[in-house]
């Protein structure tokens, strides 16, 4: 059973408190829960922006146009999106060989 199926509340929010009245978690509440889970699992520096950055990086690595990633992330300036996406040097070399050689 997954998280959504296990919920018994009718709140439309993705993340809610564990106790009634099952209120929507705030951004800081989600961040706090992620950090707690990270500590329990022995993973340091877990936070929501890490997930955003990872999603952006993977989408770009798989060939998604940067403009579409920008739209998903809600960035007005493409420069902001470019800062999110960490470029893998090996992928740069592979792309260079693919397009230039």
pLDDT band per the 50, 70, 90 thresholds, residue 88: low
Residue with the two structure tokens 């990872």: 54
Same domain, 91 and 58: yes
Distance of CA 84 to the CA centre of its chain: 10
pLDDT digits (tens, 9 = 90+) for 18-31: 888 889 989 898 89
* Mean pLDDT, all residues of the chain: 85
Segment among 12-16, 80-84, 86-90 with least mean pLDDT: 86-90
For residue 18, the enclosing domain spans: 3-41
Predicted TM-score (pTM) of this structure: 0.62
Domain count, the chain: 2
pLDDT digits (tens, 9 = 90+) for 63-76: 899 899 999 999 99
Question: What integer is the mean pLDDT of 70-98?
Answer: 82
Same domain, 31 and 58: no
Closest by alpha carbon to 60, among 39, 35, 83?
83
Q: What string of H, E and C letters represents the secondary structure of the chain?
A: CCHHHHCCCCCCCCCECCCCCCCECCHHHHHHHHHHHHHHHCCCCCCHHHHHHHHHHHHHHCCCCHHHHHHHHCCCCHHHHHHHCCCCHHHHHHHHHHHHC
Same domain, 33 and 54: no
- Predicted confidence at residue 70, as pLDDT, reads 94
Same domain, 35 and 57: no
- Predicted confidence at residue 49, as pLDDT, reads 84
């Amino acid at each position: 059973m997954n998280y959504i199926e296990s919920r018994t509340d009718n709140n439309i929010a993705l993340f809610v408190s564990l106790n009634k009245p099952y209120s929507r978690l705030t951004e800081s509440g989600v961040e706090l829960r992620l950090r707690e889970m990270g500590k329990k699992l022995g993973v340091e520096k877990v936070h929501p922006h890490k997930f955003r950055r990872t999603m952006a990086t993977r989408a770009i690595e798989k060939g998604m146009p940067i403009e579409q990633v920008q739209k998903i992330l809600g960035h007005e300036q493409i420069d902001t999106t470019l800062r999110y996406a960490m470029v893998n040097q090996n992928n740069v070399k592979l792309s260079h060989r693919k397009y230039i050689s």
